[in-house]
Amino acid sequence: MLSKKVKLKIFLLFVFLIATSAVIFFVLKSLEENVVYFFSPTEIYNKANISFDKKIRVGGLVKPNSITKGEKSINFIITDLKKEIIVSYEGLVPNLFAEGKGVVAEGKLKDRKYFIAAKILAKHDENYMPPEVSKALENSNN
Amino acid sequence: MLKNFFPNKILALNNNLITSLIIFLIIVVIIGIIYSLLISPPDYIQGDSVRIMYVHVPSSFIALGCFGFIGLASIANLIFKIKIMPLLAKSLAPIGCIFSLVSITTGSLWGKPTWGIWWVWDARLTSMLILFLFYVAYIFTWKFIADFEKANKISSIIGIIGLFNLPIIKYSVNWWSTLHQPSSISLTSAPTIHYSMLIPLAIMFFAMLIYSLIIFLMSYKTEVMKLQINKKKNQK
């Protein structure tokens, strides 16, 4: 059997673990705004106090057929399949930036529907496969 | 199982075992490199940069696994005062530390061609950096606190607090929006990595496990020797 001292230690440790979990949980909960890396268009749409001169990030999918390239600038739409935001950007985009793929834009909101990006990052998903398999999948879907 | 790690057993450990493990490691690494660089296909979106995964993912696993063990050993250590626990944990710490650094570095090298940036402060990357800092803190308490009992207590507390970081790292990609993609491998669902890429991943993971085992056996043996020398000194 466990001795009294060991039992007390287990009890104390148990209390410590629960208390620490609770503290971490509430700290992370209250910091949620800072922990999330980007907001979705829907979150921006629903956000009560939105700042138009602070740098924020918007993420989602690049809407298919929405990319229009100008001489220097590029415009496209970020969608989370519910709400959309038009993004305007000047500069180079990452290699993986493509229609239908994930994207995170960093910059400032002009209004709730229009975003001026200073930086574009590509976000890829957790699927990895050879090109042949992806082609075969596409063919079977069509 | 635990009996094999008792001090007298580990001291009797033959150097031939380590040598044969090293030879085995070299063979597995060569197979792993051939598989991951030549035989496995490029990814349909990322092309050849997906090959960084074969180093990045196993290192991250080992970095998390080592700290998981250190945390549990610290709990066992504080409650039951099992003598070999601090030695086991202490020998694992440098391995996990190096692999967390490898994970962060390769992740950074992978981030540039895929995301378009070396580093971002999203939840996954930041929590992984915190894991590395926990390793550094853990190792430094052993290094700079001369008194064994005191170092043992402080490092155990660091180990237990660091344990909370592990689920945060694991689930950061599900709890918050991050630039890092969600996990491809989980216990509950089929992996989202094609099997032709899973094979080199498994071989590289196996290779890094053998490497970790070799380093662990060597440093654990050293730790046991150090302890016994100190004991003899104190007796005199």
How much is the pLDDT for B216?
94
Q: What is the mean pLDDT of residues A37-58?
A: 87
C-beta atoms of A128 and B78 within 8 A:
no
What gap in Å lies between CA B141 and CA B151, rounded to an integer?
Answer: 6
What gap in Å lies between CA A122 and CA A116, rounded to an integer?
Answer: 16
User: Is residue B193 within 8 Å of B201, Cβ to Cβ?
Assistant: yes
Q: From its phi and psi, is residue A81 left (phi > 0), alpha (psi between -120 and 50) or beta?
A: left
Q: Which of A117, A124, A105 is nearest to B115 (CA)?
A: A124
C-beta atoms of B197 and A129 within 8 A:
yes
C-beta atoms of B117 and A125 within 8 A:
no
A111 Cα to chain B: minimum distance (Å): 22
Structural domain of B132: 56-182+195-235
Task: Please name the residues between 78 and 97 in chain B that touch chain A, using a CB distance below 8 Å.
Answer: 78-80
Q: Does any domain span residue B121? A: yes
How much is the pLDDT for A142?
62
How much is the pLDDT for B15?
79
* Four-CA torsion A38, A44, A50, A56, nearest 10 degrees: 20
Q: Does any domain span residue B9? A: no
pLDDT tens digit string along B13-51? 777 888 999 999 999 999 999 999 999 999 988 889 999
Q: What are the Cα distances from residue B15, in Å, to B1, B12, B119? A: 21, 9, 42
What residue of A is the nearest CA neighbor of B119?
A: A121
Q: Which of A42, A40, A74 is nearest to A58 (CA)?
A: A40
C-beta atoms of A94 and B161 within 8 A:
no
pLDDT at B1 over 60: no
Q: Which of B135, B156, B166 is nearest to B65 (CA)?
A: B166
What gap in Å lies between CA B36 and CA B5, rounded to an integer?
Answer: 34
Q: Of A36, A37, A129, which has the smallest distance from its Cβ to B43's Cβ? A: A129
Amino acid symbol at A141 = N
C-beta atoms of B115 and A121 within 8 A:
yes
Q: Does any domain span residue B24? A: no
C-beta atoms of A126 and B184 within 8 A:
yes
pLDDT at B6 over 80: no
> Could you give the percent of chain A with pLDDT greater than 70?
99
pLDDT at A76 over 70: yes
For chain A, list residues whose CB is within 8 angstroms of any CB belonging to chain B: 6, 9-10, 13, 16-17, 20-21, 24, 28, 32, 35-40, 59, 93-98, 101, 104, 119-135
* Residues in CB range of A7: below 8 A, 6 or more apart: none
What residue of B is the nearest CA neighbor of A11?
A: B79
pLDDT tens digit string along B177-234? 899 988 888 777 888 898 899 999 999 999 999 999 999 999 999 988 888 888 888 8
What residue of B is the nearest CA neighbor of A131?
A: B44
Q: Of A6, A38, A122, which has the smallest distance from its Cβ to B115's Cβ? A: A122
How much is the pLDDT for B119?
93
Size of interface A-B (CB pairs under 8 A): 110
DSSP string, B25-83: HHHHHHHHHHIIIIISPPBTTTBGGGGGHHHHHHHHHHHHHHHHHHHHHHHHHHHH--T
How many domains is chain B built from? 1
Q: Does any domain span residue B30? A: no
Using the Cβ of B189 and the Cβ atoms of chain A, whether some distance falls under 8 Å is answered with no
Q: What is the mean pLDDT of residues A77-86?
A: 91
User: Is residue A61 within 8 Å of A99, Cβ to Cβ?
Assistant: no
Using the Cβ of B118 and the Cβ atoms of chain A, whether some distance falls under 8 Å is answered with no
How much is the pLDDT for A125?
85
Model pTM? Answer: 0.90
C-beta atoms of B177 and A38 within 8 A:
yes
Which residues of chain B make contact with A134, given a CB cutoff of 8 A? 44
Which residues of chain B make contact with A35, given a CB cutoff of 8 A? 123, 176
pLDDT tens digit string along B108-142? 999 999 999 999 999 999 999 999 999 999 999 99
Q: Does any domain span residue B100? A: yes
What gap in Å lies between CA A69 and CA A76, rounded to an integer?
Answer: 9
Q: Does any domain span residue B4? A: no
